[in-house]
Amino acid sequence: MEKGIVFAGFGGQGILLAGKVLARAGMNRGLEVTWLPSYGPEMRGGTANCTVVIADFPIGSPVVDCPDALVAMNAPSLDKFEERVAEGGIIVANSSLVKRPVKRGDVRAIPIPANDIAAELGNPRVINMVALGALVRALGVVSLEEIQRAMEEELHGKGRDKLIELNREALRRGFSEAEKYLS
């Protein structure tokens, strides 16, 4: 098993953190992981992406040609990466900002209104965890509990402990939202 996942969006949307949480969940499960950020001179409002690879054998390339899954948090990200997604792959698109449908017919498209769900939860910053929850449901490599625990470890002790409960809920909402497209 080897899965490559690309997270892409605006800087400030929590793209890098979402990838880190997934990588940590994979590691906790005893799998091999790599987390590779785009680290250009990009600031809040620019584009950001990271690539996570999860495998049950030592990982060679952290660079992925055809990701098995794409999390596109905005329209430019979907435009940029849609064509590269592997046949039969997953595209989680933030439908609050991505107003067009996924064009590819050979992938599983999961539109998630991440901004709207985050607004309902009372904090727009958890859009990344909403999208990550949906991805985890579709990917099936780690469980909801495992991703929640990885998120807790990531936020713990960095002055963000009070946000853990909110982020747990965001992951759960994304996870169950994805159900609709997978049954």
Partner 1 sequence: MSRVLMRGNEAIAEAAIRSGLKCYFCYPITPQGEMVEYMARELPKRGGVFLQAESEVAAINMVYGAAAAGVRTMTSSSSPGISLKQEGISYIAMARLPCVIVNMMRGGPGLGNIAPAQGDYFQATKGGGHGDYRLIVLAPSTVPEAAELVRLAFDLSDKYRVPAMLLADGMIGQMMEPVELPEPVDPDRIPPRPWAVTGARGRPKNVVSSFDLEPEGLREMNLVLQETYREIERNEVRWEEVETGDAELLLVAYGTVGRIAKTVVRLAREEGLPVGLFRPITLWPFPYEPLRMLAEKVGTVLTVELSAGQMWEDVRLAVEGRAETPFYGELGGVVPSPKRILEEVRKYVG
Residues within the interface to partner 1 (CB under 8 A):
20, 23-24, 27, 32-37, 39-41, 58-65
- Which is nearer to partner 1, 33 or 114 (by Cβ)? 33
Determine the Cα–Cα distance for residues 18 and 172; give it in Å rounded to an integer.
14
**Gap between the Cα atoms of 50 and 181, Å rounded:** 25
| Residue linked to tokens 């999961």 | 110
Q: How far is the CB of 91 from partner 1 (least distance, A)?
A: 20
Q: Which of 133, 138, 127 is nearest to 102 (CA)?
A: 138
Residues 126 and 114: their CA atoms lie apart, in Å, by 8
> Residue 33 Cβ, how far from partner 1 at the closest point, in Å?
6
Residue 166 CB, nearest approach to partner 1 (Å):
23
Query: Nearer to partner 1 by C-beta: 19 or 111?
Result: 19
Tell me the closest approach of the beta carbon of residue 67 to partner 1, in angstroms: 11
CA angle, 17 then 135 then 53, to 5°: 65
Q: Residue 52 or 91: which CB sits closer to partner 1?
A: 52
Residue placing its CB nearer to partner 1 in the complex, 88 or 122: 88
